[in-house]
Amino acid sequence: MEPKRMPHLLVFANDPLKAYVEKGEIKERYYNPENFFDRVTIFTPCDEDVVPEEVQEIAGKALLEVVPVGSMKKIEKILSLKKEIARIVNLARSFGPHMVRAFNPRFEGRFAVEVGKALGIPSVLSLHADFSRKRLWRVEGLSCVKSLAYSTVFKFCTERQSYSGADAIIGAYNFTLRYFQNVPVHKTKIIYNKVYSPPENGNGSTREPFSLISVGRHIPGKDPRNLIKALSGTPYHLVLIGQGPLTESAQNLVKKLKLSTQVHFISSVPNKDIYRWYREAHAFAMAMLYGGISIPMLEAMACKLPLVLARPFWEPFPEVIENDALVVPDSPEGFRQAFRELEQNPSFRAELGQKSWERYWPVRGELMELQEAELYKTLLQKETFECSTTF
């Protein structure tokens, strides 16, 4: 009798795993929902990466392999894309996966689709950002010229092939799918980023002074400087967790406004410790101009924090939370007025925090993980495996 095969997932990671380690973004079972797979192989875009033992939790109980395959951010590799695809396909064949997953429609997405076709296995593509060049220009202006040039390569070399060839496309929120307008509906599914319920539920801090938290990269479209300016003339405190090209400018602004005792910068916090920081704040604030919903927004909602958000350019309200947040113009005055409203009205603050949690609960990480595992199961339903997990 032929032995049953164990399900094996091949992942094309967006970045080297060491980058996620440095940012504290290693999340349990991230690549192995519900421990569905018994083996997870991750191809990473670098020449050297971490050893599997250092990041085992991202694969749950599965056997984990980390395989650096080199970066594509070299002109000679881009010019020889067909050769690179052949190399990656041959390498993938030597590992014998039963499914392949990528998290963008760029080189990783193209590789995943080509591997799927060559090996006759399902390929899954997920979208976690807005890939529209027009919207990128609207938000970032001249600062995105280099990104636009690089993005043009993807438009012609990877995007169409990725989304048209994938067997399933996951949107981390509805807004991501707007760019890919011709994808058949039956191939798409919204599965929000997995943000799990905190071990201790609360309603934010009750201590003085009134404090805010903002988590995210400091980049155009998520510029924290209006949040900082909003603190002028107030006793409020702000914790900024994250970093990016705008961090230095934000730090200089804090010095200029003499807010060094009120604004605190923290470059990164391990994922396992992040909820402690939310619990010490009264409210969450973010100046995100893109559509969709970010992981930090979901984390704040899980902690029953009221949200103060900049009005996105292309949506009347942010996704999921909708009008159960204070949505304001992206200006110091807009944020300052909302902060004062929450500080001066604790009952309203608690009410808005409860609404945040109610919006979060239907998309909590536990349910999203189950949906992702069910999708994998559906795609592999014609195969016979000896799985360690049942549904």
Q: What is the mean pLDDT of residues 27-44?
A: 97
Residue in the block written with tokens 């404090």? 211
Q: What is the pLDDT of residues 255-290, one digit of tens each?
A: 999 999 999 999 999 988 999 999 999 999 999 998
Residue type, 105: P
Q: What is the pLDDT of residues 333-374, one digit of tens each?
A: 999 999 999 999 999 999 999 999 999 999 999 999 999 999
The most confident of the ranges 29-33, 145-149, 203-207 is: 29-33
Cα 323 to Cα 233: distance, rounded to the nearest angstrom? 28
Residue type, 277: W
Q: Which residues of 318-356 are buried (b: 16+ CB within 10 A; e: fewer)?
A: bbbbeebbbbbebebebbbebbebbbeeeeebbebbebb
User: Given a cut of 70, is residue 385 above it in pLDDT?
Assistant: no
Per the prediction, the chain carries an average pLDDT of 91
In this prediction the pTM is 0.90
Q: What is the pLDDT of residues 50-85, one digit of tens each?
A: 999 999 999 999 999 999 999 988 888 888 999 999
The fraction of the chain above a pLDDT of 90, given in percent, is 74
Cα 182 to Cα 201: distance, rounded to the nearest angstrom? 42
Strand 326-328 versus strand 307-310 pairing type: parallel
Q: What is the mean pLDDT of residues 7-26?
A: 94
pLDDT for 181 equals: 67
Rg (CA), the chain: 22
Strand 168-171 versus strand 123-127 pairing type: parallel
Residues 6 or more apart in contact with residue 385 via CB below 8 angstroms: 4, 5, 6, 7, 98
What domains does the chain contain, in order, with CATH numbers?
8-195+365-379 (3.40.50.2000), 211-361 (3.40.50.2000)
